[in-house]
Structure 1
Amino acid sequence: MTTRRDFIKMAGLTSAAMMVNPVDAFSNSIEKEKPEKENKWLDGSRLVVSVSMQFETGGQPENAESPFPQNMQKGYVDLPAETWYQYGYKEGIPRMLDNWDKHGIKVTSHMVGSAVLQNPQLAKEIVQRGHEAAAHGMNWSSQYAMSYEEEKTFIKAGADAVKSITGFTPVGYNANWLRRGQNTIKILQELGFTYHIDDLSRDEPFIIQANKKDFVVVPYTIRCNDIVLIEGKNFSSDQFFNQVKAEFDQLYAESEFKRRQMSISFHDRIGGTPQMVKTTSDLLDYMKKHTGVTFKRKDEIAKMTLQDKSSIRE
C-alpha cells in the first residue's frame, strides 16, 4: 500500500534521480514502491481509540434544546425537558461508568463547571474510577463572543470548579459545541492547559504553537457522536453501530502504515441510555478483537504526542 505521503516523497526522489540516470531511477522507484511497515505510535499501539463522555447536565440554560418541540411561550419553563437533562446524572453517567469498567477502558470526561458544582459526588466518582476530568467551560455561554479578559475568567472558573470538586487539574479543553474564539488557544496555554479538542481537521493528533510554545490538538468528532447522530439525525442504535464500525474498519486498515486516532463521543443524557450503552458495549467488543488497538484518555494522547519527535507540526 502506497500512501500519499510516500508517493510525494518517492516522486521527489525519483525526479531528482532521473536527472542523473533515468533507467536506474525507474528501477529503484519500483523496488521502493511498498513502504516499510513502521510503528506510528510511540507506545507500540497500532490504532488509538479515544472516548469522550460529556458531563453537562446542570450547565444548560433554561429551555435548552431537547427532543421536545421548541415552542414554549416566553416566561415559562419546559419542565419535561429539564427531566431529560437530569437523566444524564441520575442514570446516564452511572451506567456508562459501569460499562467502561466492564471493558477495562478509561475515558475523558469533559465537565461543565456548573454541572460539576450541582453534582459533586458524581464528578468525584468519575475521577476516582480512573477517568480524566477535562474542562468544558463554566456553562453553555458562547466563548467566541467574549472579550479576552471575559473568556479567560470564564475558562478559569470552569477549570477551577472541576479541580475544587474532583482534585483533578484539567489539562484539556472543549468549548461549548466546539465554538472557540480567536483568543481561546492563547488563553488555554496561559492557564496551563496542554491540549484542546475543538478541531476536526485530522485523524491523528498534532502540535501547534501557542504563545511560541508547543500545544497539542487531539481531534474531536462529529461523525461518531451521539448528539449529532442519535439526537440530531434520529439514528437508531443499530445505525449508530454501523456508522462507528465503518469508521473503525477504515482507520484500522490505514493504521497499518500511518498514525491513526479514532474518536467517539457520548453525552450524559444520550449515550447513557440502555440501548446506547448496549450498542457501545458491542462496539467495544468488536474493536478489542483487533490486534494493536488501545483505548486512551486524551491527556495520555497529548503527552505521547509531545514526546514523539515524529508528531505532525503545524
Structure 2
Amino acid sequence: MDQRGELEPWQWPEEHWRQLVNQARAGRPLRPKSWPGGARCAVALSFDSDHETNELRDGGKSIGRLSWGQYGNRVGVPRILDLLDRYGAKATFYVPAVAALLYPDEQRRVVREGHEIGIHSWIHELNSVLPYEAERDLMFRAADVLEEITGVRPVGMRTASWDFSPNTLRIEKEYGLLYDSSLMADEDCYELLLDGVPTGIVELPVEWVRDDAVYFMMNRFSSLRPYTPPEGVFDIFRREFDAAYEAGGLFQLTCHPHIIGYRSRIWILEELIRHAKAKGHVWFATHAEVATYARDHAEATAETAR
C-alpha cells in the first residue's frame, strides 16, 4: 500500500492535495453580456428520466420501487411535455441508456417536440466506483443507444447522481463532449480544466438547492423522508430564478419526472415558468443551446474578471 494512502489529510504533502483539487477544475467564466434576443436571463430546465434505473443500479428488485420508476414514464414525462408545450419552453432530458431502451417512444417524442436528450449513464451507475475502462465503455455505449433510438448524437452529459470520478472529464474529452452538467463551482457556465489544462468543455453547473429530489425523495426502508412542503420548494426555486434574473445570468433547474410529476407538485414547475415569462426578456433553451451560446459569446474580459 502506498505510504501516502496511510497519511491523514492534514499530513498530505502539497503536491498530493493540489493534484486532487486539479483533477477537474473551473476555468474561465463563460457568462455572456446578454442572451439571445437581448434576453436578460437564460432558463435551462432539465429532467433526469431515471425511471426504473434508480432501483436497478444497486441490484434492487423491489417491485414497488420499480413501479415508481414506471410512473415517471406513464405519467411524469407526458405531463411535463404537455406543460412545456403549453408555454413554448424548451428543456433537456437526461436519460440512462437502460431507461431509453425500456421506453424508446418516450425519447422519440422528447426529440420530436424540440427538446434535447443528454447522456446520463448506462444504468444510473456511480462513476466513482468504476475503473477507467468500464466507465468509458458505459458512457460510449450509452451515447450509441441514445443516438440509435432518437437519431441524434448527444452532445452533453450529466453523471448519475452528479458522481464524478477522477477519469470522467478525461473520458468526456475523448468523446468530444460539448458540455457537462454535473459540477457545482459556479452559478453560470465556465470552461472545465483537466489537470490545469483547458478542455474546451463547457460546464453548465448544477446545485442541490435547485434539485427537486432533495426536498421530495422518499424511501420507506431508510430514514429518507420528504421534509419540505411544495410551497417552500417553489419559494426556493423562485428566489433562485429572481437572483439569476437580476444578475443577468443563468437559472438552471434539475427535476425528475417520477418526483415533480405528481398533481400536487407539477404546479411548482408551471408557476415557475409563468413567473419567468411574466418578468419578460427570458430565454428558455436546452442545455446544449445555453452551453453553445455561452462558449461563443463570453465577454472578452471574462478571463481576468476573477
Aligned to 2:13: none
- Secondary structure of the residue aligned to 2:48 is strand
Q: Is the 8 A contact 2:32 2:299 kept in 1?
A: no
What pairs up with 1:98-177 in 2 under 5 angstroms?
A: 98-177=82-161
Percent identical: 24
Q: Within 2, Cα distance between the matches of 1:153 and 1:92?
A: 30
Aligned residue in 2 for 1:82: 66
Listed as ranges, the matches of 1:222-241 within 5 Å are 222-231=208-217, 233-241=226-234
Write the letter of the residue equivalent to 1:129: E
Structure 1 pair 84/46, CA: closer, same or farther in 2 (3 Å)? same
Contact kept? 1:39, 1:46, Cα under 8 Å: no
How far off its partner does 1:142 sit?
1.7
1:301: Cα distance to partner? Answer: 0.9
CA, structure 1 residues 186+276, in 2 after alignment: closer, same or farther (shift >3 Å)? same
Does the Cα contact within 8 Å between 1:227 and 1:267 map onto a contact in 2? yes
Aligned to 2:259: 270
Instruction: From 48, 55, 59, give the equivalent of 1:54.
Output: 48
Q: Is the 8 A contact 1:63 1:78 kept in 2?
A: no
The match for 1:217 among 203, 208, 215 is: 203
The question of 1:45 aligning with 2:39 is answered yes
Higher relative contact order (CA 8 A, sep 6+): 2
Q: Is the 8 A contact 1:59 1:115 kept in 2?
A: yes
- TM-score, normalization by structure 1: 0.78
What amino acid is aligned across from residue 238 of structure 1 in structure 2?
E
Q: How many Å separate the matches in 2 of 1:180 and 1:39?
A: 27
Q: How many equivalent residue pairs?
A: 263
Cα distance in 2, alignment partners of residues 58 and 79 from structure 1? 10
Equivalent residues of 1:45, 1:292 under 8 A apart: yes
Aligned to 2:279: 290
The amino acid that maps onto 2:271 is D
Tell me the CA shift for residue 78 of structure 1. Answer: 2.3
Preserved CA contact (<8 Å) 2:118 2:156: yes
In structure 2, C-alpha distance between the alignment counterparts of 1:185 and 1:108, rounded to whole Å = 21
Q: CA deviation at 1:209?
A: 4.0
- For residues 8-62 of structure 1, give each alpha carbon's deviation from its aligned partner in whole angstroms, at most 9, with x where no partner exists: xxxxxxxxxxxxxxxxxxxxxxxxxxxxxx9722522211111011111132344
Does residue 302 of the first structure (1) align with residue 291 of the second (2)?
Answer: yes
Q: Which amino acid aligns with 2:264?
A: Q
Q: What are the superposed Cα offsets for residues 256-313 of structure 1, whole Å, 9 maximum, x if unpaired?
A: xxxx111111102011112222221111111111132111111001111221242755
Report the AA paired with residue 161 of structure 2: W
Q: Over aligned residue pairs, what C-alpha RMSD do you find?
A: 2.2
Counterparts of 1:140 and 1:247, CA distance in 2: 28
Unaligned ranges ≥5, structure 2 = 1-30, 218-224
User: How many Å separate the matches in 2 of 1:209 and 1:224?
Assistant: 24
Distance in 1 separating the partners of 2:267 and 2:35: 32
1:15 alignment counterpart: none
Unmatched runs of 5 consecutive residues or more in structure 1: 1-37, 65-74
Select the residue among 170, 174, 185 that pairs with 2:169.
185
> In the alignment, what sits opposite 1:28?
none
Matches of 2:238 and 2:56, distance apart in 1: 36
1:225-264 to 2 correspondences below 5 Å: 225-231=211-217, 233-255=226-248, 260-264=249-253
Task: Work out the CA distance in 2 between the residues paired with 1:76 and 1:97.
Answer: 29
Q: 1:39 to 1:128 in 2, by over 3 A?
A: closer
Paired with 2:60 and 2:293, the residues of 1 have a C-alpha distance of 49
